[in-house]
Amino acid sequence: MNEKIITIFGTGRAKPGSSTYKLAYETGKLLARARFTIANGGYGGTMLAAARGAAEAGGETVGITCKAFGRDKANEYITREIVADSLDERLDTLIKLGQAYIILPGGTGTLLELAKVWEFKNKGFLNADKPIILVGKFWKPLVDLIASDDPDSSQYIKQVDEPRQILELI
């Protein structure tokens, strides 16, 4: 596969103008300018913001939507849509496609996504060269909490303050 795909996880509740929305937009734009295709859940919030940023920079976007949600099609900035039958299939597809995982602020859905890629790395089910990158300080308390019980697990997590630092890790 010649295409380099970066999976971005984040909240569907981020509103235009919010700091989280802006973070997602800048991340998508930055990755597209660096010739990466981005993959995400394809709906609103950070998914829309990252796809918009990528699209406006001339990049490609893949949205993995889910029949089980009963929602309409992917947002208008998605250039390729893959429809999964279930939440598990959706997440597995996002993990399989990604050559790196960018984690933005989010709620329980984003927590599920982070937990699954982190545990897969922790157990050796994901290639060592597929980084998990947390953008901003949102997840730092969780990483610190997990590290207090399992210090070795934090070796799989990279944390950056701003999107431009992502490129140094991928």
What is the number of domains present in the chain?
Answer: 1
Q: Which residue range forms the structural domain that includes residue 83?
A: 5-169
CATH number reported for the structural domain that contains residue 62 in this entry: 3.40.50.450
pLDDT along the chain (170 residues), means of 10: 89 97 98 98 97 98 92 91 96 97 97 97 91 97 96 94 95
CB burial class (10 A; 0-12, 13-18, 19+) of residue 66?
A: buried
Residues in the chain: 170
Quote the pLDDT of residue 71. Answer: 72
Quote the pLDDT of residue 18. Answer: 98
Quote the pLDDT of residue 99. Answer: 97
Half-sphere exposure of 111 (CA within 13 A, CB side): 9
Quote the pLDDT of residue 44. Answer: 96
- pTM equals 0.95
CA 73 to the chain's CA centroid = 19
Quote the pLDDT of residue 69. Answer: 84
